[in-house]
Amino acid sequence: MKKCNQPDPRTFRAIPRLMFSAALAAGVSGAFAAPPAVVPSDGIVGYMKGRVLVKPRAGLSIAELDKELKVHGGRRVEHLKQLDIHVVELPGNANEQAIAKLLAKNPRFKFAELDLVVQPNLTTNDPATGSAWYLAKVGAPSAWDFSVGKSVTIAILDTGVNSAHPDLAANIVPGWNVVDNNNNTADVYGHGTAVAGVAAGVGNNMVGAAGIAWQSRIMPVRVSGLDGSASYSNMAKGITWAADQGARVANLSYQSVAGSATISSAASYLRNKGGVLVVCAGNSGTQLSFATDANITAVSSTNSDDTFSSFSSFGTFVDIAAPGNGIYTTDAGGGYSNWAGTSFSSPIVAGVYALMIASNPLLTPASLDNAILSSAKDLGTAGKDSYFGAGRVDAARAVSTARAMVATDTTAPSTSITSPGGGGVLSGIANVDVYAADPSGVTSVEIYANNKLIATDTASPYQFAIDTTKLPDGATSLTAKAKDSVGNVGTSSAVNVTIANDTIAPTVSIANPTAGAVVTGTVTVTASATDNKSVAKISLLIDGKEVAVSYGGSLSYAWNTGGTTTKGAKKGKNTTTSTTASIQVRAQDAAGNTGSASVTVTKN
């Protein structure tokens, strides 16, 4: 992915684009393919050749997943287990864009997308104009009276960090290199060190400049190759690793991630563990069509006079703005430089999140979002807009708002099964969709069939693929349970459906009376039924009227045939009039399949 920094026209250094050999050296498998025309975003120069990323519906078996992928010649080569996202390898002659589009339409999957990659072209390095003007602009010194971010861990998902930098070393905690799968998090490109200094450079040490949250911990997570580019899959692995290590804030200063379903899933995983993901809006200078994502805080850039930066991307996906011009911060060489771009707006907001968390550690991600957005300085059009989002971040007001919040939540999530509807008949692999929402955030949704747990989903939208062949045929009650971040559980109303995988009807036989028999008085009617699975119910109908029901494989009924007697033609003689009667036995199995047998008898 291309990092969200903008070149200063007065001084810059060119960064050559590295081709496949560099990608391999960086630990990225596969060559780059041409940028997809179908993705409306800035900075994308390609995607990983021969691969797509897919996320199946919760509950879909590996066997069924492989069956769906095999149609396109795909095979699973890596599983991002925490997110249940699979890296799928395609044949050499495959059209990745077409296959990703087809898989995205497949009802068995929550999403499918290309593993996009952007390489940076230019960065800025102008130490002569550096100053930390942005700290006062966002009210950081006033916020520091109450919080300096102490003990909060901020994961810097980037090109690595120079952990020996004198203005960073004291705040560094162990990180991870997801590209090479080791703990070497040295900065291979220079961008990550600059981002880390903005978020949490050491303060009050008489050296350089202070970061926004200058007593927060910096967790370097390298997600890029040697050329600074990064793929969706490596970013997602970095986010989940940081979440598992306890990071409460993660910063991702790369372009074109706000529209990725893979990144959104990773952000949801982080939120379920109490953390927030902050990303940059990008530097296209144009409007992007990404949708608003509740899992991600997207940040655009402002100037020193609170006007919108000309280089900043904008759109309805933007949540908040922060300074992004002339940001004085640490550089990988051990000194300081001036940088510009939404790459540096993003860590300002990440640092403010850390200040709020330190001031009120029990706040949920949803409460933190509410505090930072509601306290922002409204700029541009009144209310939320596509340029500034909720407004320019205000650290002092955000911390004040967070401190005043009461971190209690006793309200269970709201949840309901939206599909299938009541009375539906399910067979094979059946899709079940659930709505769940909670102010504190929903951490998981479980689906139950007759009070038996079937599958769990941890990321919105909550979508399941249930193998109904593993459930007994017949009436089934579906319920959903949603849990929020503090443990409250909400249960949906039951949706009653019928499981019907069995299509074979029961076989019925009537043992007595036999067809054509003449009956009189009380007759014992006996019948039985067999089924490939089991018989649920047997009904006896005489002349179309149900007179007896049995639950099982046999039925016995004492039938009083009655009789009709009339005066004969000769005086003193009585004659009984014979009539016919229809006897029908119906048998039904659990799936609702019905078999029957009938005989006609004569009553005297």
DSSP state of 3: B
Which residues have a catalytic role annotated?
158, 191, 343
Cα-to-chain-centroid distance, residue 16: 36
Q: How far apart are CA 250 and CA 175, in angstroms?
A: 12
Q: How far apart are CA 110 and CA 293, in angstroms?
A: 16
Q: Is the dihedral of CA 180, 231, 256, 270 positive or negative?
A: negative
Q: 129 phi and psi, to 5 degrees?
A: -105, 15
Residue 145 has which token pair? 């009276």
Rg, the chain, Cα only: 34
- The CB density around residue 176, as the number of other CB atoms within 10 Å, is 23
**Alpha-carbon distance values, 340 to 97, 324, 386, 424, 433 (Å):** 33, 5, 20, 57, 44
Closest alpha carbon to 52 in 134, 142, 121, 113: 113
Say which residues have a Cβ less than 8 Å from residue 9's Cβ, sequence separation at least 6.
none
Q: How far apart are CA 120 and CA 230, in angstroms?
A: 10
Q: Is 391 helix (H, G, I), strand (E, B) or coil?
A: coil
Helix H or strand E encompassing 63: helix 62-70
Beta-strand (E) ranges in 42-118? Answer: 46-56, 75-80, 85-89, 109-118
Counted residue by residue, the chain has a size of 604
Q: Determine the straight-line distance between the first and last CA of the chain, rounded to whole angstroms.
A: 91
Closest alpha carbon to 4 in 490, 346, 464: 346
Residue 192 has which token pair? 């990550």
Answer for the pair 438, 453: CB distance below 8 angstroms, yes or no. Answer: no
Q: 195 phi and psi, to 5 degrees?
A: -65, -45
Helix H or strand E encompassing 101: helix 96-105
Beta-strand (E) ranges in 517-593? Answer: 518-519, 522-530, 535-542, 545-550, 554-560, 564-567, 574-577, 579-589
Closest alpha carbon to 328 in 123, 131, 128, 126: 131
Beta-strand (E) ranges in 291-358? Answer: 296-302, 320-323, 327-330, 336-339
Beta-strand (E) ranges in 303-347? Answer: 320-323, 327-330, 336-339
